[in-house]
């Protein structure tokens, strides 16, 4: 899958497609999207998100929205920022989930 496909794939098909990708490939796509849209350091962003997740209330319905806020803050503001931030947030959440699963499953 190409990065451009991720940006143009209908939302309903995006998450299932991402679930089949390896972490390294997901990270490569996230880095490309971040760089193409004026974002900063991917490693710093993912570190911030991973550190923020445990601080979110388990009762909160907004962990995804909190991740989106962090992602949006890294991107240049443009007309397409919301769609790009949403897609990049989905990719990052899949990456974080897979990393946590790998840690817990050994």
Q: What is the pLDDT of residues 9-55, one digit of tens each?
A: 998 899 899 999 999 999 999 999 999 888 888 999 999 988 888 88
Q: How confident is the model at residue 61 (pLDDT cuts 50, 70, 90)?
A: low
Name the residue range of residue 39's domain. 3-8+16-53+62-105
Number of domains in the chain: 1
pLDDT tens-place string over residues 71-101: 888 887 766 788 888 899 989 989 998 998 8
Other CB atoms within 10 A of residue 49 CB: 19
Candidates 25, 29, 73; CA nearest to 49 is: 73
Two tokens at 59?
């009762």
* pTM assigned to the model: 0.81
Q: Where are the alpha helices (DSSP H) in 9-62?
A: 11-19, 23-36, 42-52
């Amino acid at each position: 899958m190409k990065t451009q496909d991720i940006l143009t794939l209908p939302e309903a098909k995006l998450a299932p497609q991402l679930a089949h990708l390896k972490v390294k490939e997901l990270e490569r796509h996230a880095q490309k999207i971040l760089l193409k849209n004026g974002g900063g350091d991917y490693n710093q962003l993912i570190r911030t998100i991973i550190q923020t997740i445990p601080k979110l209330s388990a009762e909160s319905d907004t962990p995804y929205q909190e991740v989106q806020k962090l992602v949006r803050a890294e991107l240049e503001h443009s007309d397409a920022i919301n769609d790009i931030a949403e897609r990049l947030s989905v990719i990052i959440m899949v990456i974080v989930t897979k990393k946590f699963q790998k840690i817990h499953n050994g």
